[in-house]
Amino acid sequence: SHNRLLIKNGKVVNADGMADADLYIEEGVIKQLGRNLIIPGGTRTIDAAGLLLLPGGIDPHTHLDVEFMGTKSADDFYQGTKAAVAGGTTMIIDFVLPAKEESLIDAYYEWRRRADEKVCCDYGLHVAVTWWSSSVKKEMEELVEKHGVNSFKSFLAYKGSYQLSDTELYHVFNACKELGALPMVHAENGDIIAENTKKLLNAGITGPEGHEMSRPEEVEAEATNRACVIANQVGSPLYVVHVMSKSAGNVVAAKRDEKLSNGEECVIFGETLAASVGTHSHGTGYSCWSHAAAHVLSPPLRPDPTTPEYLMRLLANDGLQLTGSDNCTFTAEQKAVGKENFTKIPNGVNGVEDRMSVVWEKGVETGIIDPPRFVAITSTNAAKIFNIYPKKGVLAVGSDADIVLWNPRKTRTISAKTHHHKTDYNIFEGLTCHGVPDYVIVGGRVCVDEGELKAVQGLGNFVPTPTFSPTCYPAFKPEENGIDKNAIIHEEIAALRLNNTSSKP
């Protein structure tokens, strides 16, 4: 029967270590973990010898089916989550993006409507606060109390559409603090970008190279620092999305370190992207307009070629904690709207499918991180920060059966010819990655089976993210979420832990 499954002979990798263990699943939940399990007859068995069992990836940053920059992202919740599952991601957290003056609650319902029937895996929602008033604050409260939202993103960029002032940011962070929610920021100085853009266009610089030139590193670092200062003044934690530069990464790492060494509970979290560790800026040295335009996102990929490895090293030493994709895809035709003017190129790249492979290749395969840290930065930390751990983000008894059987010896070469996005190019085109998900199990169902994708539209559910209590991380005490904590065999896993988890598999 497809609701019972035994995975034998694999190596379980959690964020806190690795152990050889068999794993038994029933009704979408991990029921047993260990050796010599007693299993009912007629259970399907998968032999995972030579494979690593990872908690399914959690992508904390996607934009599926969203109206943005005058167009709509190409991957909807079906295509986007199908691509996610193909690559070993079993949960996404997408951003509700209300228009200015639009009710946040209406926008939230619209996202539920777009997603619920289509998702091939579980999903959660962040809500962007794109304007501010007392009614917005009331809506935030309702979203937190009734609708399972615990995170709100504000923009320091996109002047004229989503950008908030420092006063407004202060109020949003403060509301989050009062509600037990986590403020998130897109950190770039939108005022400076607007002025730089005018200058560049006046000087006749209209190509994709103008995008990065209008918003260099320090414009990101300044906004990152400012957001950290506002959060500190308010006394809220802060999550910085898509950290794209060495300078901004250093700000996050330093601010976080300062708070942790002061023993503060409201800390800073930093997310970087598969794109920023896995590909490069095209600067002025591109030969093909659409190739360069394909790489346009905000904040931009940096011309400094040492950036990807630097960001990976920050992920390794906990200067940064998570990797997202910021999957916000546009076809070449959609990108071409900006042919005469880089400011009209819709911002966004792919990544929800390839994030796991790219991070493995650039992190584990290079020896910068070990497999447990890979699990932390692709799954566990997102589950902890958004308060759905240990339901998600760990292979433990009682946790959801979202599992990837990862083959670290196989390779695949990323290509638009074989990807599952709706777009006609892939920013990682040609990159060969070790690490292939031979099987992906979504809520107990085998959705990649011996490499064959069998994603099921509508299989996923909305996962409410509960508020934080009493304060924030590291006191982010995961709430019970209906899981019997005594059933979790973390200690057993720890006891089985290999001496050297940093050796390559």
Can residue 149 be called a binding residue for ligand URP (CB under 6 A)?
no
Query: How many residues sit in the footprint of ligand URP (CB under 6 A)?
Result: 9
| Window 207-246: contact mask with ligand URP (x via CB under 6 A) | -----------------------------------x----
Q: Which of 4, 171, 177, 186 binds ligand URP (CB under 6 A)?
A: 186
**Minimal distance, residue 386 CB to ligand URP, in Å:** 17
SS3 67: strand
DSSP 469-490: -SS-TTS-----TT--GGG--H
Q: Which of 326, 370, 400, 402 binds Zn ion (CB under 5 A)?
A: 326
348 binds, options Zn ion, ligand URP, none, Cβ within 5 to 8 A by partner type: ligand URP
Can residue 326 be called a binding residue for ligand URP (CB under 6 A)?
yes
Q: Which is nearer to ligand URP, 130 or 321 (CB)?
A: 130
d(CA 61, CA 173): 19
d(CA 230, CA 237): 10
d(CA 427, CA 179): 38
**Minimal distance, residue 244 CB to ligand URP, in Å:** 9
**Minimal distance, residue 156 CB to ligand URP, in Å:** 11
| Window 153-192: contact mask with Zn ion (x via CB under 5 A) | ---------------------------------x------
**Minimal distance, residue 241 CB to Zn ion, in Å:** 6
Applying CB under 5 A, the span of 187-195, 320-328, 435-443, 491-499 interacting with Zn ion comes to 320-328
- Residue 342 corresponds to which tokens in the numbers above? 């880089």
**Minimal distance, residue 379 CB to Zn ion, in Å:** 19
Q: Which of 81, 325, 347, 378 binds ligand URP (CB under 6 A)?
A: 347
Q: Which is nearer to ligand URP, 181 or 297 (CB)?
A: 297
d(CA 22, CA 36): 8
Q: Which is nearer to Zn ion, 174 or 347 (CB)?
A: 347
SS3 294: helix
Assess whether the previous peptide bond of 474 is cis (omega < 30° from 0): yes
Can residue 297 be called a binding residue for ligand URP (CB under 6 A)?
yes
CA count, 13 A, side-chain hemisphere, 330: 26
Nearest in space to 442 (alpha carbons), one of 458, 422, 431: 458
| Window 62-101: contact mask with ligand URP (x via CB under 6 A) | -x--------------------------------------
d(CA 242, CA 249): 10
d(CA 499, CA 503): 10
**Minimal distance, residue 289 CB to Zn ion, in Å:** 12
Q: Which is nearer to ligand URP, 176 or 349 (CB)?
A: 349
Can residue 328 be called a binding residue for ligand URP (CB under 6 A)?
yes
Write out the binding residues for ligand URP, residues 46-65 only, by CB under 6 A: 63
Rounded alpha-carbon distances, angstroms, from residue 329 to 65, 222, 280, 403, 423:
9, 27, 17, 26, 7
Q: Which of 57, 249, 348, 444 binds ligand URP (CB under 6 A)?
A: 348
Q: Within 203-298, where are the H helices? A: 209-213, 217-234, 246-261, 274-278, 289-294
d(CA 268, CA 262): 13
DSSP 378-436: IIIHHHHHTT-TTTSSS--TTSB--EEEEEEEEEEE--TTT--SSSS--TTTT-EEEEE
What residues line the site for ligand URP (CB under 6 A)?
63, 186, 242, 297-298, 326, 328, 347-348
What residues line the site for Zn ion (CB under 5 A)?
186, 326
